[in-house]
Amino acid sequence: MSFTAKIWDTEFPGVIYNSSGPRCTTLEELSSLWDSTSSAIMMKSCSPEPREGNPLPRYSEVELGSINSIGLANHGYKKYIEYAAELKKQFPNKPIVVSIVGFSHEDFIMLVTAFQNEENVDVLEVNLSCPNVVGKPQIAYDFEWSDELIAKLFAIPGDKPIGFKLPPYFDPIHTEMMAEVLRKYPVSFITCINSVGNTLIIDPETEQPLIAPKWWLGGLGWDYVKPIALANVRSFYKLLGDKVTIIWCGGIKSWVDVFEHLLAGASMVQLGTVLGKEGTDCFERIEKEFYTYMDKKWYTDIKQVIWKLQEL
């Protein structure tokens, strides 16, 4: 069976790894990802300076998923350079993916330059889609600003693959506009989707919202978002699949989710809320279930499944 993946020259030993978010902020958490069967180590989105993020409570789980307004709490990019060096020394065989986030073109340029020069990092995911920073809209909804930024990032010398984490698009015209921007540059991959932002969940018992920041509005993950993620994967594959690897993130909790997303056009998948809820054992569980199903269907290569959704 061949269930590996590649982003440019970077080989991934499998197709399932963590998303930037739950359980990937500290060196201890990142090390436990190395000990798991995750196919890569994705780090928490890092900014130029350390950030404490939003006030508590800022994360809650309910039956259908999670709501969060963490607000990009992280240790600052210099720490993630140190963590990458430490991790590579101990566990050289898994790709390290850094997730970067900034608040101006200059921030992003500085971060991409720093990581392009960092030998222990393999792949750069640029987060253009955090919905949880007070007063800052999701970057990738501003097509002009994103276009200018992406042009600048690809002018920076370096040979590490760069991809973009996108917000959910809800109207086809917006998906097309973003695809048009991305098509102009040597983008290696896109990750669809970030949390579905600015949503409200109320606890009827306490008659209160579940989280405090941003007037109680937060980003959704898990069951709530799976159909939105599926639609984004499918739409972007149709527009860019000949050129860009599509990575799916949003709503995975079992093999069936992985299978459906491959059918819709994803080549790799990232686990978010399920990792937060279940811990790193989720990688092995989902992988085993997925391989068993592939075997049952007599598939020997994931390429037999990617973008193979049957027409109605």
Q: Which residues bind ligand FMN (CB under 6 A)?
A: 19-22, 44-45, 59, 66, 68, 70, 72, 99, 127, 165, 194-195, 221-222, 225, 249-252, 271-274, 276
Q: How far is the CB of 275 from ligand FMN (least distance, A)?
A: 8
| CA pair distance 28, 5, nearest whole angstrom | 26
Give the residue with the Cβ less far from ligand FMN, 53 or 265.
Answer: 53
Catalytic residue, chosen from 130, 192, 249, 282, is 130
- Residue (247 or 305) nearer to ligand FMN, CB: 247
Least Å from the CB of residue 2 to ligand FMN: 25
Q: Which is nearer to ligand FMN, 186 or 227 (CB)?
A: 227
* Alpha carbons 126 and 62: distance in angstroms, whole number: 29
Question: Residue holding tokens 């709490």?
Answer: 73
Minimum gap (Å) between residue 97 Cβ and ligand FMN = 11
Which residues, including other chains, have CB under 8 Å from residue 16's CB and lie 6 or more apart?
Answer: 37, 38, 39, 258, 268, 269, 270, 271, 283, 286, 287, 290
Q: For residue 153, what are the CA distances in angstroms to 73, 114, 158, 162, 245?
A: 24, 12, 10, 9, 18
CB nearer to ligand FMN: pick between 130 and 299? 130
174: how many CB neighbours lie within 10 A of its CB?
Answer: 16
Structure tokens at 46: 């890092």
CB of residue 120 to ligand FMN, shortest distance in Å: 20
Q: How many angstroms separate the CA atoms of 1 and 87, rounded?
A: 29
Phi, psi values for residue 77, rounded to 5°: -60, -30
Structure tokens at 8: 């440019």
- Active-site pick, 129, 146, 195, 267: 129
Q: Where are the alpha helices (DSSP H) in the chain?
A: 27-35, 77-90, 105-116, 143-154, 172-183, 213-216, 226-240, 255-264, 273-278, 281-296
**Distances in whole angstroms, Cα of residue 94 to Cα of each of 50, 209, 222, 259, 291:** 26, 40, 26, 23, 20
In the bound state with ligand FMN, the residue whose beta carbon lies nearer, of 114 and 192, is 192
Q: Least distance (Å) from ligand FMN to the CB of residue 157?
A: 25
Q: Is 130 a catalytic residue?
A: yes
In one-letter notation, the amino acid at residue 1 is M
* Beta strands 59-62 and 10-12, pairing class: unpaired
Q: Which is nearer to ligand FMN, 58 or 88 (CB)?
A: 58
* Catalytic-residue membership of 20: no
Cβ of residue 74: shortest distance to ligand FMN, in angstroms?
7
Residue 239 DSSP symbol: H
Catalytic annotation, residues? 129-130
